Amino acid sequence: MTATATLQAAAPTPFSAPRWTTEALAALFEMPFNDLLFHAQQVHRRHHDANAIQRSTLLSIKTGGCSEDCGYCSQSAHHGEAQREALLDVDEVVAAAQAAKDKGATRFCMGAAWRGPKDTDLDRVATLIGAVKALGLETCVTLGMLKAGQAERLKAAGLDYYNHNLDTAPEFYGQVVTTHAISERFDTLDQVRGAGLKVCCGGIVGMGETRRARAALLAELANLNPPPESVPINQLVPMPGTPLENAPPLDPFEFVRTIAVARISMPASLVRLSAGRQEMSDELQALCFLAGANSIFYGDKLLTAGNPEAGRDEALFARLGLTAA
């Protein structure tokens, strides 16, 4: 079968249910590399400015001590090494948000290491949302799993996006997390959509999953109704003290393939290069942009993991002729 025929066979029809199957996306992964990138770039150009990159900044507003045992996370109380810290105060968060805006970020994301927030926590987070919103930035938070009514409270505070990643495919999830089921993540996403919030939802690759599991993860994301507005694709950053600290690195071309399949299956979404970018060469990032990535996390830190400095990003964008979205 030719590459074009493979893509046509994999593409959804108005009557297909679900919209994308794991088998269809696995077929895309199997395409010759150049053909896959060519099709992904075609899809990208039909829906986005081919040379515009949206920039977000992520700040940990409450670090360490999380009750969950996510195998990749240094903030887990089960195995992580991140120092437990209290929720940041408003002045600290506003200063960080203003600095992010000054460097070109248009969205400010705040992450707290909780299984889920208490109602009293939401009062303080709502204040932070309002303060960041007042700077003219889009707001996003990732607070863990939500209880009934909490998404509505966040919406009322002015929140734009709620981040809650699926992390990996359902069939692989239990090998990464044992303290909760992936169904609980879907429940939170349903609450977020029901409250009228935009969804930021992606996953992590390079945790020892198979290519089919990567296809299954992307199928789950693409079949959300509607698909997430933002899809962060994280490459595992092995953190000392975590069960995945010795995970072998993912082949760089496989990461680019993952970006391309995400773009084809979620054409209107922002596909974001997230964790792991510090370890990527400029050439690898350029391939990811060609494959359809059009958003990055911008700044020198992502929660507890490093991230390229803004100056390096500016230099890369100048070399590639990329502009801020």
Whole-number Å distance between alpha carbons of 68 and 154: 23
Whole-number Å distance between alpha carbons of 287 and 252: 10
- Hey, what are 123's tokens? 């009062």
Whole-number Å distance between alpha carbons of 195 and 159: 11
Terminus-to-terminus CA distance in the chain, angstroms?
A: 38
Give the catalytic positions in this structure: 66, 70, 73, 109, 140, 200, 272
Whole-number Å distance between alpha carbons of 236 and 302: 12
Q: To which residue do tokens 């494959």 refer?
A: 291
Nearest to 44 by CA among 302, 290, 303: 290
Q: E-strand spans in the chain?
A: 52-62, 107-112, 138-142, 161-163, 198-200, 203-205, 230-235, 270-273, 295-297, 301-302, 305-306, 323-324
Whole-number Å distance between alpha carbons of 39 and 52: 19
Q: Is 57 left (phi over 0), alpha (psi -120 to 50) or beta?
A: beta
Whole-number Å distance between alpha carbons of 279 and 266: 26
